[in-house]
Amino acid sequence: MDKIVVKGGPALHGEVKASGAKNAALPILASSLLADGTSTYRNVPDLVDVATMLKVLRTMGCGAERLTGRRKDVCEVTVGANIVPEAPYELVKTMRASVLVLGPLVARYGRARVSMPGGCAIGARPIDQHLKGLKALGAEITLTEGYVEARAKQLKGGTVNFDVITVTGTENVMMAAVLAKGRSVLENCAREPEVEELARVLNKMGARIEGAGTSIITIDGVDSLRPVEHTILPDRIEAGTLLVAAAISGGDVLVKHAQPENMEAVVLKLREAGCTLTTENGGIRCKAPKAIQPVNVTTTEHPGFPTDMQAQLMVLMCVASGTSVISENIFENRFMHVAELHRMGADITIQGPTAVVKGVKKLSGAPVMATDLRASASLILAGLRAEGKTEVARVYHLDRGYERLERKLRSLGADIRRMKA
């Protein structure tokens, strides 16, 4: 298995481009199932998760490919006759977001059989709210042999009040409601920019959705949708990770394509930490302060501070001049990076959902193990600052959600390389 080797020290300087957003690309690729014909998406990040979603679509009988050469950021999905509305365990177990095909399949084909995603390193992550939403639209749901089976001759508009704010749950039910008969009202929805982006794509396909990006989404069902061409919005979590890389290395980096309007909480916290953040040339620039200031953070749903940036911000706080308190409110077990950061000399105490981080003068390079996607990124960030060599093992977690992170960091002056297994 590949490893990433980082030698700490160099301050990062220059410009780097944020790729397309993983969490927008995945539901958008799944939404192709809602229309016959070929949909074309640009700025699709080249990630293992995206490859998995293309595979899920191919398994069902779609054409689903990434183009090559100068158009390698483009993915095309072709939906024709003979779709098998089924997502097998072998694929769903490698990527929970495969469950996003459930809504489109039952809406379009009247039935779906999708493996239940299991828990993962960061928490149990049930899908009860997805199922509650589909039931409210008239789907009959059964759970057998580890699979969810959903059936409905024709979904009907309904009201869904989510008990928990869920990003993919909102997306799944929204994708089902676009072809339901009549009006659906979804309440207590996730307001993430990626939900809004999916609604934008669905509306381009002919759907009638209003309110995406707020907590109430209203959808008037239509009879059919058409394929679409769309450019995926930039990844705010990758952009945030690169801003932290600038901050922790004592550098000055412009992250092109980063969208300040979607990253307010992250920008605010980095400013509180003493960084100078400016919007310029269609991106965000982060200049590190002489000394990082401690910052308290609580992760919440958008527009609050994203759980997907918690590990990265924690690493920055590991070298702050003072004590920070970081509370994780979204997932029950998202502190897996802490044990690895201890190995690098960090001073972090976990008390339930809260981590108390005492800034230390220096981190030391060490062999560490990635446990999940953002934990992997956080260990690489720690390695940029640590004295000596950090070897991050199990990099496959990183490759799920970052497009060649080590190359981007190297282009900014980091001493980082991938060691092929």
Ligand X SMILES: C=C(OP(=O)(O)O)C(=O)O
Could you tell me where the beta strands, DSSP code E, fall in 99-175?
111-115, 140-144, 147-151, 159-161
Q: Which CB sits closer to ligand X, 108 or 191? A: 191
The neighbouring-strand residues paired with 358 are 323, 347
Q: Which residues of 202-224 are buried (b: 16+ CB within 10 A; e: fewer)?
A: bbebbbebebbbeeebbbebeee
Q: Judged by CB under 6 A, which of 108, 269, 374, 397 binds ligand X? A: 374
Count of residues near ligand UD1 by CB under 6 A: 22
Size, binding site for ligand X by CB under 6 A:
6
Report the SS3 class of residue 192. coil
CB of 142 to ligand UD1, least distance (A): 17
Q: Give the C-alpha separation, 16 to 276, whole Å.
A: 17
Residues in 75-104 at the binding interface with ligand X, rule: CB under 6 A: 96-97
Q: Is 22 annotated as a binding residue?
A: yes
The string of DSSP letters for 41-105 reads EES----HHHHHHHHHHHHTT-EEEE--GGGTT-EEEEE-S----EE-HHHHTT-GGGGGGHHHH
The reply on whether position 130 binds ligand UD1 by CB under 6 A is yes
Q: Which helix (H) or strand (E) holds 29?
A: helix 22-31
Return the number of the residue (7 or 132) whose C-beta is nearest ligand UD1: 132
Q: Measured from the CB atom, is 12 or 405 closer to ligand UD1?
A: 405
- Min dist. Cβ of residue 375 to ligand X (A): 9
Whole-number Å distance between alpha carbons of 92 and 156: 27
Active site residues: 120
Give the residue, chosen from 32, 166, 184, 262, that forms a contact with ligand UD1 under the rule CB under 6 A.
166
Q: Does residue 104 bind ligand UD1 (CB under 6 A)? A: no
Query: Which span (1-9, 65-73, 166-174, 251-259) binds ligand UD1, by CB under 6 A?
Result: 166-174
Yes or no: say if 28 and 201 are a contact pair by the CB < 8 Å rule. Answer: yes
373 binds ligand X (CB under 6 A): yes
Binding partner at 381 among ligand X, ligand UD1, none, C-beta below 5 to 8 Å by kind: none
- Consult the annotation and say whether 125 binds a ligand: yes
Residue 133, amino acid: G
Report the interface residues with ligand UD1, using CB under 6 A: 23, 26, 96-97, 123-130, 164, 166-169, 190, 307-308, 330-331
Please state the residue numbers annotated as binding site for phosphoenolpyruvate. 22-23
